[in-house]
Amino acid sequence: MKRINLIYFSPSGSSNSIASEIGDNFSGDKVRYDLLRQTFEEVTFEKNELVIFAFPVFAGRLPAICLEKIAKFKGKDTPAIGVVVYGNRDYEDALVELVDILKENGFKTIGAGAVIAEHSIFPTMAKGRPDEKDREQILNFSNKCKDMLSLISEDMKIEVKGNRPYIDSKPIPLIPKGNSKCIKCGACVKICPVGAISIDDPKKTDKKKCISCTACIYICPERARGFSGPMYAAAAKTFESKNKERKEPEFFYADK
């Protein structure tokens, strides 16, 4: 492969590291497209490149903010791997949505997966994941995708779990804010993908703009941002008790 391209949106870092783990198994120059920190004009990939897409699941779908961003990347029958990362609740229609977009944009998806990582809003859910067992499965997936590269054909197709039409995308009614530890460094202001935090008063968050992505929480050097309040505590309790059972990663491959 001439180039291995990693395209991801990863507010709390898991999609980024899972994309890297898959990509590290392939030889070829690595090019990273961080859709949280950078903006891109249209990019077209050739047939002799591989593109790995990794996105978090937000309310059972791809984050709405990513749709326009992903549309900038086009393939010319370019092989692709699509992964969604979720916090042990469910990934519903996020993976089928990703695979559909990749097809529409000229990619040939050879493998797709749904992988579990720590829940970025309720971090006690799926704590420590992906763990060793997950990593073994991710490596196995990556190896199988490598084998698929030599088997790509005109009419190969991939079927993944999920429904069409996709479930409705619902906003999350939980908004992170800053506390007294905030030193006004501006890191959260800079990383916020929707401009919901003002440099004059970064402890506040514009509720109308915020998409609850958690980028501001994970970037804060003072750990001064987070979710709080009785509504969050109640939601955390319900979520944790409903989703205790360990989910396993699921992988899908194109038929030859």
Interface ranges with ligand FMN (CB under 6 A) = 10-15, 56-60, 85-90, 117-121, 172, 212-214
Q: Which is nearer to ligand FMN, 60 or 113 (CB)?
A: 60
Beta partners for 29?
A: 3
Q: Let me know: does 176 contact 19? Beta carbons within 8 Å.
A: no
For residue 252, the minimal CB distance to ligand FMN (Å) is 18
> CB of 174: closest distance to ligand FMN in angstroms?
8
Cβ nearer to ligand FMN, comparing 114 with 145: 114
- Closer by beta carbon to ligand FMN, 156 or else 218: 218
89 or 146: whose CB is closer to ligand FMN?
89
For ligand FMN, which is the closer residue by CB, 88 or 109? 88
Q: Is 229 left (phi over 0), alpha (psi -120 to 50) or beta?
A: left
Residue 31 and residue 7 in contact, taking contact as beta carbons nearer than 8 Å: no
Tokens of 203: 């402890």
Nearest to 33, CA basis, from 62, 12, 69, 8? 8
Task: Indicate the residue type of 167.
Answer: I
Beta strands in the chain (DSSP E): 3-8, 29-34, 43-45, 49-56, 73-75, 78-86, 107-116, 177-178, 225-226, 250-253
52 or 85: CB nearest ligand FMN: 85
Cα Rg of the chain (Å, integer): 18
For residue 236, count other CB atoms closer than 10 A to its CB: 18
H helices then E strands: how many in the chain?
Answer: 7, 10
Q: How far is the CB of 61 from ligand FMN (least distance, A)?
A: 8
| Least distance to ligand FMN, CB of residue 82, Å | 14
Amino acid at 134: D
Q: What is the closest distance, in whole angstroms, from the C-beta atom of residue 119 to ligand FMN in the complex?
A: 4
Q: Least Å distance between CB 190 and ligand FMN?
A: 17
Q: Which is nearer to ligand FMN, 148 or 211 (CB)?
A: 211
Beta bridge partners of 43: 73
Residue 71 CB, nearest approach to ligand FMN (Å): 20
C-alpha–C-alpha distance, residues 18 and 244, integer Å: 23
